Amino acid sequence: ILNSLILGWPEIFNLDIIFLSTRVTAIILLAIIILCVLKIIHFQIQKIYHTLILIAPLWIFFLFTKDPDFLHYSTELLSTTFLTLSYLLIKLDKNFSKKNTIIIAPILLGLVFFSKIQFFPVAIIIFLIILIELFLQKKDLRKYFISVFFFLLPSFIIFTLLFVSGNLKDFFINNFIFAYDFISFSQSKNILFEVYSEKKINTAISVGEGFKKHLTLNLVFHIIYFYFFISLLLLFKAIKIGFKSIIFNKDIIFISLIILSLVAVILIPGKMHRHYLIALVPFLPIFISQLMCLIISDFKKETRFSFLSFFSIGFLILTMISAFLEKDKFYSKKFDRIPFKKQNIHLSSPRIFQYLFDEDKQTKLYIWGWMPKWYILSYMTPSSRETISEKQIIKNINRDYYRSRLLNDLNENKPDLIIDFV
């Protein structure tokens, strides 16, 4: 729901919703995410030099990546914006007494449910951190109820709207029953049989080899390795100098729970969708900055991080080399590149099917199959609530429901053009 709303912002200015506006939306959300991470890191370690080192891989990745999973708008961006922004509000309020922590952060976390339901368990973890902090600091009991109220408020409002409009059942089937069916199928032996059957043995090999190539060549995994090795170095340093209480530190436990919950919701669907990692990578440098903060504060003096700087610069150089090679990597070959020219920027839709109709006629389109880009390029109103026909075509327990729903949609919004693109 929220992704549809935020991508519709050009309508406010009487502009067309096009690929450029979608890309601009993605860039704005990425900027907010990186700014939040930057402020959290700097707040924790108070050193601009180390802050820049920790944020650099994240910035390099989003600037240079040529992986198609990260080049377009995806629903992870909005949910990650809510998660990082709420965590920033929590970190900036040490006493957990400001409205930002008790009201705004819970609202943002509640909105995650309607931006990317997959990451709602992470939002629950962060919200529980708020409640635990309120308990540990022995805050007024009223603040508990205020936080819970505002956390549940987005759900109450949107569920009420869904109920009044008669779409509550549809929301439940789409977001819970279909998701359960999707996960069950992904993790079952049936899909393994399909992938590795004789007819698809070449596909199975290519999927396996492709995943290995991504692990070794993809820039997103390179920055994950960067953060992993830096965290190992810090942990080794902490143990070496006697900082044994680090694993029992409250803040380390909290950020570790967030990262573990992110890893869990990324793995549970059973699909190798790399764009899920968008939600994980911003929290990795936050974890490292928390480690550095603890090491410094434990000894009540500035600990020298020359060893860390040495290895960090080395890893950064390797990351930059990988970034500059992105255009030559296997997943980048999927693109046909053309030189950038200002005159090729258009702020209106090309309306590719307009020649079929009267110029002033309001037309509707339905595409059976997988070509949702034509809805944008034609600027015709979709006759169905779905932009692809996955649920009607792929076998699932509610396929008959989705098919009957589609027929109802088409009866109520009769299409002027139907395209078969299965």
- Which region holds residue 67: left if phi is over 0, alpha if psi is between -120 and 50, else beta? beta
In the chain, the amino acid numbered 121 is P
The string of pLDDT tens digits covering residues 119-164 is 999 999 999 999 998 888 877 788 889 999 999 999 999 999 999 9
Which sign, positive or negative, has the C-alpha torsion 2, 273, 186, 124?
A: negative
Segment holding 382, helix H or strand E: strand 381-382
pLDDT, greater one: 300 or 369: 369
Phi/psi at 382 (5° precision): -65, 140
DSSP SS3 for 261: helix
Output the pLDDT for position 195. Answer: 44
Q: Summarize pLDDT for 374-389 with one digit per residue, the tens.
A: 999 999 999 998 889 9
**Run of H or E including 226:** helix 219-240
Q: Where are the alpha helices (DSSP H) in 46-167?
A: 48-64, 68-71, 75-92, 99, 105-111, 120-136, 141-164
Q: Residue with structure tokens 């070794």?
A: 216
Write down the pLDDT at residue 110. 97
- Please state the pTM of the whole predicted model: 0.90
Question: What confidence score (pLDDT) does residue 410 get?
Answer: 96
Taking the CB of residue 143, how many other CB atoms lie within 10 A of it?
A: 18
**pLDDT tens digits for 35-58?**
999 999 999 988 888 899 999 999
Distance CA 404, CA 313 (A): 59
pLDDT exceeding 70 applies to what percent of the chain? 90
pLDDT of residue 242: 61
Q: In this predicted structure, what is the pLDDT of residue 273?
A: 84
- Give the chain's radius of gyration (CA, Å): 24
Compute CA 421 distance to the chain's CA centroid, rounded to the nearest angstrom.
28
User: Using one digit for the tens of pLDDT, what is the confidence trace for 390-407?
Assistant: 889 988 788 899 999 999
- Give, in degrees to the nearest 5, the angle at Cα 24 between 20 and 29: 150
Closest to 33 measured CA to CA, from 78, 90, 92: 78
What band does 343 get if pLDDT is binned at 50, 70 and 90?
confident
Closest to 105 in 3D by CA, of 121, 77, 129: 129
pLDDT digits (tens, 9 = 90+) for 199-254: 444 554 455 577 788 999 999 999 999 999 998 888 877 776 666 667 778 889 99
Query: What residues have CB less than 8 Å from 262, skipping those under 6 apart?
Result: 119, 122, 279, 280, 283
